[in-house]
Chain A
Amino acid sequence: MTPRPGRDDDPDRLYTLTQGRSRPATDEFDLVTLVVAESDPVPGMQSEHVAILRMCRRPTAVVEVSAQLKLPVSITKILLSDLLETGKVTARHPRTTPNTAGAQRLPDPTTLEKVLVGLRHRL
Chain B
Amino acid sequence: MDSVTASEARTPLAATADNGLKIVIVGGFGVGKTTMVRSVSDIRPLNTEETMTQAGEGTDDRSAVPNKTATTVAFDFGRISLDEHTVLYLFGAPGQERFWFLWDRLFAGTLGAIVLVDDRRLADSWYAIDRLEHHGTPFVVARNDFGGPPYTAAEVRKALDLDPNVPLLTCDARSRAAGKQVLISLAEHLQSLAAAQQETAAP
A interface residues with partner B (beta carbon < 8 Å):
1-7, 10, 12-18, 22-23, 27, 30-34, 55, 57-61, 63-64, 66-68, 70-74, 92, 94-96, 98-99, 101-109, 111-112, 114-120, 122-123
Contact = CB atoms under 8 A, between A and B. Distances in A.
Interface in B127-173: 129-131, 133-138, 151, 155, 158-161
Contacts of B50: 72-74
A4 B159 contact: yes
B40 interface: yes
Contact of A3 (B81, B89, B134, B159): B159
Interface residues of B, number: 81
Contacts of B101: 14-15, 17-18, 22
B183 A70 contact: no
Given A58-B12, A94-B19, A118-B86, 18 more contacts: A4-B160, A6-B161, A15-B101, A22-B105, A33-B20, A61-B79, A63-B46, A67-B48, A72-B72, A96-B19, A98-B109, A105-B137, A112-B187, A114-B86, A115-B21, A115-B86, A118-B81, A123-B40
A18 B176 CA distance: 37
Nearest to B191: A112
A30 B194 contact: no
Nearest to A76: B48
A4 B123 contact: yes
Contacts of B197: 99, 101-102, 104, 106
A58 B15 contact: yes
B159 A96 contact: no
Given A15-B134, A68-B7, A106-B194, A30 B109 contact: yes
Contacts of A34: 13, 17-20, 87
For the complex of A and B, list the 5 residue pairs with the smallest distance between their C-beta atoms, beginning with the closest.
A118-B82, A32-B20, A58-B12, A67-B46, A92-B18
B180 A123 contact: yes
Interface of B: 5, 7, 10, 12-15, 17-22, 40, 46-52, 54, 56-59, 72, 77, 79-83, 86-89, 91, 97, 100-101, 104-109, 111-112, 122-123, 126, 129-131, 133-138, 151, 155, 158-161, 176, 179-180, 183-184, 187-188, 190-191, 193-194, 197, 200-201
Contacts of A118: 80-83, 86, 88
Given A3-B158, A116-B188, A122-B80, A107 B100 contact: no
Contacts of A10: 130
Given A7-B133, A94-B21, A112 B123 contact: no
5 contacts: A3-B161, A22-B108, A32-B87, A74-B52, A101-B197
